[in-house]
Amino acid sequence: MTASKSGKLGLLFLSVLLVMFGIFVFTINVTLLYKGKNAIEVDEVELEEVNDFKELNDALETRKQTLPPKAVPVSSRKKAGEEIGQLYIPKLNIVLPVFHGTSERELVKGVGHVIGTALPGENNNTVLTGHRDTVFRKIGEVKKGDILKVENEQALYTYKVRKTRIVDADDTTVIVPKRTATLTVSTCYPFTYIGPAKQRYVLVADLISSKLKRT
Protein backbone atom coordinates (compact mmCIF):
# COMPACT_ATOMS: atom_id res chain seq x y z
CA MET A 1 0.00 0.00 0.00
CA THR A 2 1.36 3.37 -1.02
CA ALA A 3 1.79 6.26 1.38
CA SER A 4 -0.89 8.29 -0.34
CA LYS A 5 -3.49 5.53 0.09
CA SER A 6 -2.60 5.13 3.77
CA GLY A 7 -3.02 8.86 4.29
CA LYS A 8 -6.44 8.85 2.67
CA LEU A 9 -7.62 5.90 4.77
CA GLY A 10 -6.37 7.59 7.92
CA LEU A 11 -8.15 10.81 7.03
CA LEU A 12 -11.37 8.90 6.29
CA PHE A 13 -11.13 7.05 9.59
CA LEU A 14 -10.57 10.31 11.46
CA SER A 15 -13.54 11.89 9.70
CA VAL A 16 -15.80 8.99 10.72
CA LEU A 17 -14.64 9.29 14.33
CA LEU A 18 -15.33 13.01 14.35
CA VAL A 19 -18.83 12.50 12.94
CA MET A 20 -19.61 9.79 15.49
CA PHE A 21 -18.26 12.00 18.31
CA GLY A 22 -20.42 14.86 17.10
CA ILE A 23 -23.53 12.66 17.06
CA PHE A 24 -22.69 11.43 20.57
CA VAL A 25 -22.22 14.96 21.93
CA PHE A 26 -25.46 16.11 20.26
CA THR A 27 -27.39 13.19 21.77
CA ILE A 28 -25.99 13.88 25.25
CA ASN A 29 -26.90 17.58 25.07
CA VAL A 30 -30.44 16.87 23.91
CA THR A 31 -30.91 14.33 26.73
CA LEU A 32 -29.56 16.70 29.38
CA LEU A 33 -31.68 19.54 28.07
CA TYR A 34 -34.81 17.36 28.23
CA LYS A 35 -34.02 16.13 31.75
CA GLY A 36 -33.18 19.64 32.88
CA LYS A 37 -36.46 21.00 31.55
CA ASN A 38 -38.39 18.24 33.28
CA ALA A 39 -36.49 18.82 36.51
CA ILE A 40 -37.37 22.51 36.44
CA GLU A 41 -41.03 21.70 35.80
CA VAL A 42 -41.07 19.19 38.69
CA ASP A 43 -39.41 21.68 41.00
CA GLU A 44 -41.99 24.30 40.11
CA VAL A 45 -44.84 21.87 40.74
CA GLU A 46 -43.38 20.79 44.09
CA LEU A 47 -42.83 24.41 45.07
CA GLU A 48 -46.42 25.26 44.21
CA GLU A 49 -47.61 22.33 46.33
CA VAL A 50 -45.48 23.50 49.26
CA ASN A 51 -46.78 27.06 48.96
CA ASP A 52 -50.38 25.86 48.70
CA PHE A 53 -49.94 23.69 51.79
CA LYS A 54 -48.36 26.55 53.74
CA GLU A 55 -51.20 28.89 52.78
CA LEU A 56 -53.75 26.26 53.73
CA ASN A 57 -52.01 25.57 57.04
CA ASP A 58 -51.80 29.30 57.81
CA ALA A 59 -55.48 29.69 56.98
CA LEU A 60 -56.41 26.76 59.23
CA GLU A 61 -54.30 28.11 62.10
CA THR A 62 -55.91 31.53 61.74
CA ARG A 63 -59.34 29.95 61.64
CA LYS A 64 -58.64 27.86 64.74
CA GLN A 65 -57.52 30.94 66.64
CA THR A 66 -60.78 32.73 65.88
CA LEU A 67 -63.00 29.80 66.83
CA PRO A 68 -64.26 29.51 70.43
CA PRO A 69 -62.89 26.63 72.54
CA LYS A 70 -64.77 23.38 72.02
CA ALA A 71 -66.44 23.45 75.42
CA VAL A 72 -67.57 27.08 75.23
CA PRO A 73 -71.30 27.53 74.54
CA VAL A 74 -72.81 30.61 72.92
CA SER A 75 -73.19 33.02 75.81
CA SER A 76 -76.00 35.49 76.27
CA ARG A 77 -75.38 39.12 77.12
CA LYS A 78 -75.49 40.05 80.79
CA LYS A 79 -76.97 43.00 82.69
CA ALA A 80 -74.91 45.29 84.92
CA GLY A 81 -75.00 44.08 88.51
CA GLU A 82 -75.85 40.50 87.53
CA GLU A 83 -73.74 37.76 89.08
CA ILE A 84 -72.07 35.90 86.20
CA GLY A 85 -70.00 33.34 88.08
CA GLN A 86 -67.32 32.71 90.66
CA LEU A 87 -63.54 33.16 90.59
CA TYR A 88 -61.61 30.41 92.39
CA ILE A 89 -57.94 31.04 93.20
CA PRO A 90 -56.43 27.74 94.45
CA LYS A 91 -53.16 29.42 95.51
CA LEU A 92 -55.10 31.57 97.99
CA ASN A 93 -57.84 29.01 98.66
CA ILE A 94 -60.58 31.58 98.08
CA VAL A 95 -63.78 31.67 96.01
CA LEU A 96 -65.09 35.08 94.99
CA PRO A 97 -68.40 36.05 93.35
CA VAL A 98 -68.07 37.81 89.98
CA PHE A 99 -70.54 40.54 88.95
CA HIS A 100 -71.07 42.12 85.55
CA GLY A 101 -69.85 45.71 85.88
CA THR A 102 -67.18 47.62 87.78
CA SER A 103 -69.09 50.31 89.62
CA GLU A 104 -68.83 50.49 93.39
CA ARG A 105 -72.15 48.63 93.55
CA GLU A 106 -70.47 45.55 92.06
CA LEU A 107 -67.02 45.93 93.61
CA VAL A 108 -68.36 46.22 97.13
CA LYS A 109 -69.89 42.75 96.72
CA GLY A 110 -67.01 40.97 94.99
CA VAL A 111 -65.07 40.93 91.73
CA GLY A 112 -66.20 43.09 88.83
CA HIS A 113 -66.29 42.04 85.17
CA VAL A 114 -65.32 44.91 82.87
CA ILE A 115 -68.30 45.55 80.58
CA GLY A 116 -67.34 45.30 76.92
CA THR A 117 -64.76 42.56 77.47
CA ALA A 118 -65.43 38.89 76.81
CA LEU A 119 -67.42 36.73 79.15
CA PRO A 120 -65.51 33.91 80.86
CA GLY A 121 -64.54 31.16 78.43
CA GLU A 122 -65.05 33.21 75.30
CA ASN A 123 -62.29 33.42 72.71
CA ASN A 124 -61.14 36.93 73.65
CA ASN A 125 -59.96 38.94 76.63
CA THR A 126 -62.01 38.54 79.83
CA VAL A 127 -61.08 41.30 82.26
CA LEU A 128 -61.86 41.11 85.98
CA THR A 129 -61.04 43.70 88.61
CA GLY A 130 -61.41 44.12 92.36
CA HIS A 131 -60.32 46.16 95.36
CA ARG A 132 -56.85 45.42 96.73
CA ASP A 133 -58.03 45.87 100.32
CA THR A 134 -60.97 43.46 100.07
CA VAL A 135 -61.21 40.60 97.55
CA PHE A 136 -57.65 40.88 96.23
CA ARG A 137 -55.69 41.50 99.42
CA LYS A 138 -53.31 38.59 98.73
CA ILE A 139 -53.38 38.62 94.93
CA GLY A 140 -49.66 39.48 94.90
CA GLU A 141 -48.94 35.92 96.02
CA VAL A 142 -50.28 34.56 92.71
CA LYS A 143 -47.41 34.05 90.27
CA LYS A 144 -46.64 32.72 86.82
CA GLY A 145 -47.77 29.11 86.45
CA ASP A 146 -50.52 29.32 89.09
CA ILE A 147 -54.09 28.32 88.25
CA LEU A 148 -57.22 30.48 88.14
CA LYS A 149 -60.70 29.02 87.68
CA VAL A 150 -63.95 30.69 86.68
CA GLU A 151 -67.21 28.81 87.10
CA ASN A 152 -70.63 29.84 85.88
CA GLU A 153 -73.93 28.11 85.22
CA GLN A 154 -72.63 26.73 81.93
CA ALA A 155 -69.08 25.51 82.53
CA LEU A 156 -65.88 25.48 84.53
CA TYR A 157 -63.00 27.31 82.83
CA THR A 158 -59.41 26.74 83.94
CA TYR A 159 -56.70 29.29 83.22
CA LYS A 160 -52.94 29.22 83.79
CA VAL A 161 -51.13 32.45 84.67
CA ARG A 162 -48.71 33.32 81.87
CA LYS A 163 -47.29 36.52 83.33
CA THR A 164 -47.77 39.30 85.87
CA ARG A 165 -47.58 43.00 85.05
CA ILE A 166 -47.42 46.32 86.87
CA VAL A 167 -48.85 49.11 84.72
CA ASP A 168 -50.03 52.69 85.07
CA ALA A 169 -53.64 53.16 86.12
CA ASP A 170 -54.53 54.61 82.70
CA ASP A 171 -52.80 51.85 80.70
CA THR A 172 -55.47 50.63 78.27
CA THR A 173 -53.42 47.64 77.06
CA VAL A 174 -54.95 45.70 79.95
CA ILE A 175 -58.33 45.55 78.19
CA VAL A 176 -57.29 45.16 74.54
CA PRO A 177 -58.94 42.27 72.64
CA LYS A 178 -57.05 38.98 72.36
CA ARG A 179 -57.04 36.35 69.62
CA THR A 180 -57.30 33.53 72.13
CA ALA A 181 -59.24 33.00 75.36
CA THR A 182 -57.44 35.08 77.99
CA LEU A 183 -58.27 36.00 81.58
CA THR A 184 -56.90 39.32 82.83
CA VAL A 185 -57.21 40.11 86.55
CA SER A 186 -56.39 43.61 87.77
CA THR A 187 -56.24 45.48 91.07
CA CYS A 188 -54.71 48.66 92.47
CA TYR A 189 -50.97 48.73 93.24
CA PRO A 190 -48.95 49.09 95.46
CA PHE A 191 -51.05 46.96 97.77
CA THR A 192 -50.20 48.99 100.89
CA TYR A 193 -50.61 52.39 99.23
CA ILE A 194 -52.92 54.83 101.03
CA GLY A 195 -55.35 56.66 98.74
CA PRO A 196 -55.96 56.31 94.98
CA ALA A 197 -53.13 54.18 93.58
CA LYS A 198 -51.38 55.27 90.38
CA GLN A 199 -50.61 51.73 89.21
CA ARG A 200 -52.29 48.38 88.66
CA TYR A 201 -51.12 44.84 89.41
CA VAL A 202 -52.20 42.55 86.57
CA LEU A 203 -52.37 38.78 86.09
CA VAL A 204 -52.58 37.48 82.51
CA ALA A 205 -53.76 33.87 82.19
CA ASP A 206 -54.48 31.57 79.24
CA LEU A 207 -57.42 29.19 79.01
CA ILE A 208 -56.14 25.61 79.27
CA SER A 209 -59.39 23.66 79.68
CA SER A 210 -63.14 24.04 79.54
CA LYS A 211 -65.60 21.62 81.10
CA LEU A 212 -69.28 21.95 80.31
CA LYS A 213 -71.83 21.22 82.97
CA ARG A 214 -74.48 18.66 82.20
CA THR A 215 -77.93 20.09 81.72
Boundaries of every domain in the chain: 1-66, 83-212
Which of these is catalytic: 131, 137, 165, 178? 131
Question: Residue 50 pLDDT more than 90?
Answer: no
3-state secondary structure of 194: coil
Q: How far is CA 162 from the centre of its chain?
A: 13
Taking residues 114-124, report their average pLDDT.
93
Cα–Cα distance measured from residue 33 to residue 36, given in angstroms and rounded to the nearest whole number = 5
What number does CATH give the domain 83-212?
Answer: 2.40.260.10
Annotation says 167 is catalytic: no
pLDDT in tens, 4-49: 555 555 566 656 565 565 665 555 554 444 444 333 333 333 333 3
Set 96, 156, 188, 202: catalytic member? 188
pTM beyond cutoff 0.85: no
Distance linking the first and last C-alpha atoms of the chain: 115
Residue 83 CB neighbour total at 10 angstroms: 16
Q: How far apart are the C-alpha atoms of 39 and 36, rounded to whole Å?
A: 5
User: Average of pLDDT values for 107-111?
Assistant: 96
Q: What percentage of the chain has pLDDT greater than the value 70?
A: 64
Residue 58 CB neighbour total at 10 angstroms: 10
For residue 160, is pLDDT > 50?
A: yes
Annotation marks residue 131 as catalytic: yes
